[in-house]
Amino acid sequence: MRFTDRSTLIALLLAAAVSGCRGEPPGPADQLVDGWIEAAGGAGAWKQVHDLRYTVTTVWFDSSGTEVRRRPRFVWGEKRPQRARIERDEAEGHYVQAHDGRGTIWATLNGEPLPPDHKATAEVLYVAGDVMYWIGLPYKLRDPGVNLRYIPADSTGYAGVMVSFGEGVGIHSDRYFYYFEEGSPFPVEVHYIEEGRTNVSRTKWTDFGEAGPLSYVGTRTYYDERGVTRKQLIISDVEINPDVDDAMFLPPAGGES
């Protein structure tokens, strides 16, 4: 069965990753990633990006696959130094989360600074890393400290790449599994296990879009073990090099953490 085979394969690969070496010689994994990069605009595309902005809308579904809620987040980011600002509305008001790329993180609710131990402040670096990583794929798979391991085709016919991170890169215990359909340079499914957890999150990737010199994943659909859609991340309104104002990443008076 699909999930049994895939879960077993992931478990074996995780065991190998723990005991294996940190790097792999050029091989099938590199070929898949390089093919994706080339199809997404080439290695030089990401180098042309200085700053960006986009909208990512989260859509939640109930256990029957019926949509129950959606919420947009508005993202501004810069590459050097890497920093991000995220705005969203919740029932309690308007949140802003940001960091300046030089060690200062901050968050506000309805314009009022939040303390360092507030959840919105504490998760700034994690959220900011996510929003830059989502738009920076596949190029960021060639960052220093990113390890690639080939996954042979299983009963589904998908071959793939397991991605893990070296010390100081991302969250070290995260593991990602990118699956490619034969004949397509883009991954069709991506599974991951985060922060040392044992449960596997499964996503399908569709609606690849283009903005400026690069391509990006338009829709990530999360589904459960029954194949029912439970969540989507939809990226839209992507602008590359809009000349984001540096002041957007600086905290308001009294808002530094």
Q: How far is CA 148 from CA 31, 72, 215, in A?
A: 11, 32, 21
Q: What is the pLDDT of residue 5?
A: 55
Catalogue all structural domains in the chain, each as residue range(s) with its CATH number. 2-20+29-249 (2.50.20.10)
pLDDT digits (tens, 9 = 90+) for 106-118: 999 999 999 999 9
Which residues have CB under 8 Å from 111's CB, separation 6+? 94, 252
Measured over all CA atoms, what is the biggest interatomic distance in the chain, rounded to whole angstroms?
Answer: 57
Helix (H, G, I), strand (E, B) or coil at 140: helix
- Say if residue 7's pLDDT is above 80: no
Residue 110: predicted pLDDT:
97
pLDDT at 197: 78
H/E stretch holding 56 reads strand 51-61
> Is 90 exceeded by the pLDDT of residue 18?
no
Residue-wise pLDDT for 40-86, tens only, equals: 999 999 999 999 999 999 999 999 999 999 999 999 999 999 999 99
Give the pLDDT of residue 170. Answer: 61
pLDDT tens sequence across 186-220 = 999 999 998 777 888 999 999 999 999 999 999 99
C-alpha 248: how far from chain center: 22
pLDDT of amino acid 254: 54
- Band (pLDDT 50/70/90 cuts) for residue 22 is very low
* Rounded mean pLDDT, 94-116: 96
What confidence score (pLDDT) does residue 135 get?
Answer: 94
Q: For 226, which DSSP code?
A: T
Report CA-CA distances (Å) from 52 to 38, 83, 131, 134.
Answer: 21, 11, 11, 12
85 vs 9: CA distance, rounded Å: 37
pLDDT at 62: 98
pLDDT of residue 194: 80
pLDDT at 17: 46
Residue 125, pLDDT above cutoff 60:
yes
